[in-house]
Amino acid sequence: MTDDAPVVTRTYRGKPEEIEAIRRADADSLAARGYYPKSQNYVPGSWGAGAWVLGVVLILLFGLGLLVLIYLVAVKPPGTLSVIYERVEQRPADKPAAEAVAASAVQGRLETLEQLKLAGAITDEEYAAKRTDILASM
């Protein structure tokens, strides 16, 4: 598998408990490389028509086919789980947008500080100190 493939398909075969353990380990290793499950489909195992025909023929010829038919009903063959993993690109934060939001927040804090000064809630010295702190945090 190439590291730049956008989609990876994995097929697991076995009993549901076995498949889940293998799939979980595989999903963890793929997640470390940026792949996450997009869809999955489990198909239970089933015997083909040939096995059933063999059982019927053996009943007619030797009488042993009944044991074969009982086995076919009692024992289920392994199922198949197909999982499609899709690569999810980790995009770096949009720097200009982040900077604009930060500048807007600083501007809002300065406006609030100005309103407090005009309302007389803080002194000129407190205003100057707070303004310096806000501008230093940029």
Structural element, H or E, at residue 41: strand 35-43
**Is the pTM higher than 0.75?**
no
Q: How many residues does the chain have?
A: 138
End-to-end C-alpha distance for the chain, whole angstroms: 45
Nearest to 23 by CA among 77, 31, 76: 31
| Amino acid 11: pLDDT | 95
Task: Please write the tens of the pLDDT for every residue from 17-63.
Answer: 898 889 888 988 888 888 888 888 999 999 999 999 988 898 888 87
* pLDDT band per the 50, 70, 90 thresholds, residue 100: low
Task: Please write the tens of the pLDDT for every residue from 73-95.
Answer: 899 899 999 999 998 876 555 55
